[in-house]
Amino acid sequence: MNKKARTRAIRENLSSYAFLTPWLLGFFLLTLYPMLYSLYLSFTEFNILQPPKWVGLRNYFIMFIGNEQFPRDERFLNSLLVTFRFVFISVPLKLAFALAVAMLMNQRLKLIPFYRTLYYIPTLLGGSVAIAVLWRRLFAGDGVLNTILRSAFHLNPPAWISNPKYALYTLILLSVWQFGSPMIIFLAGLKQIPKEYYEASSVDGAGKVKQFFAITLPSLSPIIFFNLVMQMISAFQSFTQAYIVSGGQGGPLDSTMFYSLYLYLKGFGFSEMGYASAMAWVLLIIIAALTALAFKVSGSLVSYGSGE
């Protein structure tokens, strides 16, 4: 009996692993080596063109401590702060906006296909040059926004996009404006909630607001959680938009110098790929810690299909 149970468990495991085989192969053959190699590079000085030179913990030392000979990298700390600010403001705003629009788009209106496409447009444009031109046009000193503020309210507003105090917020706005991806995922999630749940609660006399909190939010919680984690990860790695809007410089005064932008500049611009690799692993640790925290907290808040 015991032996039988064990063979069954082994067979169970084997057949499960069969489903996982493509991914496992991909991980070992394609993903693991580049990851480990970049970890190795993080302990070296590597200008890309010549073989890497082992320097131990020096790259990490320059990032966080520094001394006379290897002064601490202030631009690194600045980019970390800029990125944290960006993540913690843009992600909640973007998710809230995406969920609100998804619910608006989940109605039965004749023009819904048209509206959905309309609202996805900003995301479709992604990192195209058009975005950079548009953002400058809207938020420059003599841009559309300021023209309105001046003529309608007689204010003297700053040049939002090129003022170190406000430039980051124009990029946060850009990120929120490109809310299409989480919106689509929310929409797919809303569609997956069985209608019977709503019908049953309507019979019980529950209002819209109550239904939102009693049915929509709990049923959607795995999807909300997914969007939260993924948006956080991608916000930490945010690169393209800052790159095109600032002309690759993270300016003015490094106020939009995102972590990934600085990493890229260091790696390919300044030929310090070893240092860039070290930066990448620091970012990985930060994101992993926050993600682990999110998973931990989610345990009590996210409800999966019954029986879990």
Find the binding residues for another protein in span 73-92 (CB under 8 A): 75
In the complex, what is the shortest distance from the CB of residue 65 to another protein, in angstroms, rounded to a whole number?
A: 18
Binding segment for another protein among 58-66, 87-95, 149-157, 260-268 (CB under 8 A)? 260-268
60 binds another protein (CB under 8 A): no
Structure token pair of residue 50: 């010549």
CA dist., res. 174 & res. 160, Å (int): 13
CA dist., res. 125 & res. 130, Å (int): 8
- Angle value at C-alpha 297, between 186 and 184, nearest 5 degrees: 10
Binding segment for another protein among 53-61, 148-156, 185-193, 204-212 (CB under 8 A)? 185-193
CA dist., res. 263 & res. 257, Å (int): 10
In the complex, what is the shortest distance from the CB of residue 191 to another protein, in angstroms, rounded to a whole number?
A: 4
Q: In 3D, which of 227, 236, 238, 239 has the Cα closest to residue 294?
A: 227
- Among 15, 67, 151, 156, which residue sits at the site for another protein (rule: CB under 8 A)? 15
Q: Facing residues of 44 across strands?
A: 54
Q: Residue 44: what are its φ and ψ, rounded to 5°?
A: -130, 170
Binding segment for another protein among 46-54, 59-67, 87-95, 207-215 (CB under 8 A)? 46-54
- Among 12, 65, 72, 204, which residue sits at the site for another protein (rule: CB under 8 A)? 12
* Residue 286 near residue 87 (C-beta atoms within 8 A): no
Helices 180-192 & 74-105, crossing angle to 10 degrees?
40
CA dist., res. 230 & res. 241, Å (int): 17
In the complex, what is the shortest distance from the CB of residue 105 to another protein, in angstroms, rounded to a whole number?
A: 8
- Among 7, 11, 47, 301, which residue sits at the site for another protein (rule: CB under 8 A)? 47
In the complex, what is the shortest distance from the CB of residue 3 to another protein, in angstroms, rounded to a whole number?
A: 18
Residue numbers 202-241 binding another protein by CB under 8 A: 219, 222-223, 225-226, 229-230, 233, 237
198 binds another protein (CB under 8 A): no
Which CB atom, from 90 or from 283, has the smaller least distance to another protein? Answer: 283
54 binds another protein (CB under 8 A): no
